[in-house]
Amino acid sequence: MTMSNRIDLVQDDMPDFWYNILPDLPEPLPPPRDITGKSIEVLKKVMPTEVLRHEFSSESKIKIPEDLRDLYFQVGRPTPIIRAKRFERLFNSPIEIYMKMEGYTFSGSHKINSALVQAYYSKIDGVSFVTTETGAGQWGIAVALASTLNGLKSKIFMVSASYRQKLYRVTMMRMLGGEVHSSPSNLTKVGIEMLKDEKKRDGSLGIAISEAVEYALENNGKYNVGSVVNADILYKTIAGLEARKQLENNGIEPDYIIGVVGGGSNYSGLAFPFYKDYKNTKYIAAGSLEVPKMTRGEYRYDYPDTGMILPQLMMYTIGYDFIPPPIYSGGLRYHGVAPTLSLLMKKGIVSSRDYDQETIFRYAELYSRTEGYIPAPETSHALPIIKEIAEEAKKDGKKRILMSFSGHGLLDLGSYATMYNSSS
């Protein structure tokens, strides 16, 4: 129902399937490339069986098990869409901004949409624990929560720079039962090797992925992947499917769908369910200028992890060995873009932007002061796109914007405080 600037969806109307974009892509997705002859076997061993099946499925709709739907309800789904009317007024332009509020989930971000599913299928495989990587900690929190709800333990490798910056996220993971390690660590061969190079001690998501995969492989666990791969995006389409139903129930058709890209699952999870039928909608994704894979990356095969354990993927990349600066948007420090999203970028269906962290801090501040809700630094990277659209709307008429509000910034206040201190 619609209440003022809020559009809700009752639980009974939450979609009962996930959307798989693979059958609807403009051309077949280039397959993973196994350089060593071993990496595909690694995937088969460390990924949950059903997740691996979904990764290569050609079904356009995949049914959500009933007990998983109940878990979605427990952590806050469906999430509302909020119209950001006060933020709209800043631009003095005929725009309407609709925020899909993924920060309203128990984990505080969109990440729980996939974490619940992967933990659920890991439990079915009979393991006692899962491993994963995390940048800023949103995915780690989601995995810790999902594991706890499914009766599993979790071992989380967190990028070292973020481990030092995001104390409260580390604490939240531990409160939820997660065992958190700074990456690179001394728990894996990959980590020990990376610690020898001082330049790599701040870590990267690529290193953390390698550590998580290696540890799961060597200790009979399952690896839960936080972005990039098809299955992870599939599970996150629950947000886009909800949003589509919410807007259609109210006669709203978005002219633009925008969002931020770390590895690509946040934006894809919102945008993909619209892609097949909303051909007049424009799709714009934003990234970090400090990690400029969106605008300066090359479309080629590359490793998704620094340790070169996993199969190569065809994607936009700035190189698997890229060590990003310790920016505050830790979730954007990944070197590549999901293959499905990369293909749509290559075909010109999705366009991209990159913004520096000083710019996004100003927009995060503006949004907080108008809407009263603090966005995560990662989420804020999509906000500058709105100014661009607003300028266009002044010339061409009303534009409706749907944005993934991927997570709240209440556990990022330390980073925002540092920005304030550095500018004073």
Report whether 223 contacts 248 (CB < 8 A): no
Q: At which residue do the structure tokens 């003022």 appear?
A: 4
Distances (CA, A) of 91 to 84, 328, 369, 414: 12, 27, 14, 29
End-to-end CA distance of the chain: 45
3 state DSSP class of 134 = strand
Q: What is the pLDDT of residue 1?
A: 40
pLDDT tens, per residue, the chain with 424 residues: 444 699 999 999 999 999 999 999 999 999 999 998 999 999 999 999 999 999 999 999 999 999 999 999 999 999 999 999 999 999 999 999 999 999 999 999 999 999 999 999 999 999 999 999 998 899 999 999 999 999 999 999 999 998 998 899 999 999 999 999 999 999 999 999 999 998 899 898 889 999 999 999 999 999 999 989 999 999 999 999 999 999 999 999 999 999 999 999 999 999 999 999 999 999 999 999 999 999 999 999 999 998 999 999 999 999 999 887 766 666 788 899 999 999 999 999 999 999 999 999 999 999 999 999 999 999 999 999 999 999 999 999 999 999 999 999 999 888 898 888 887 6
Residue 12, C-beta contacts closer than 8 angstroms, at least 6 positions apart: none
User: Do 27 and 101 form a contact (C-beta atoms < 8 A)?
Assistant: no
Phi, psi of 413 (to 5 degrees): -65, -30
Tokens 């405080």 sit at which residue? 417
From CA 178, how far away is CA 142, in angstroms rounded? 10
SS3 259: strand
Quick count: other Cβ atoms within 10 Å of Cβ 298? 11
d(CA 248, CA 210): 42
**How many CA atoms does the CB half-sphere of 314 hold within 13 Å?**
11
How many helical (H) and strand (E) elements, i.e. helices and strands, does the chain have? Answer: 18, 16
Beta strand pairing call for 129-134 and 81-83: unpaired
The C-alpha atoms of residue 135 and residue 161 are separated, in whole angstroms, by 9
* Cα–Cα dist 362/298, whole Å: 30
Measured between alpha carbons, how far is residue 300 from residues 32, 39, 413 in Å?
11, 18, 37
| pTM higher than the cut 0.85 | yes
Distance (Å, whole) CA 51 – CA 26: 24
- Domain segments of the chain: what residues? 2-11+77-109+238-423
Residue 10 confidence (pLDDT) = 97
- Determine the CATH number of domain 2-11+77-109+238-423: 3.40.50.1100
Radius of gyration of the chain (CA): 20
Tokens for 293, please give them: 């894979």
Tell me, what DSSP letter sits at residue 102? G
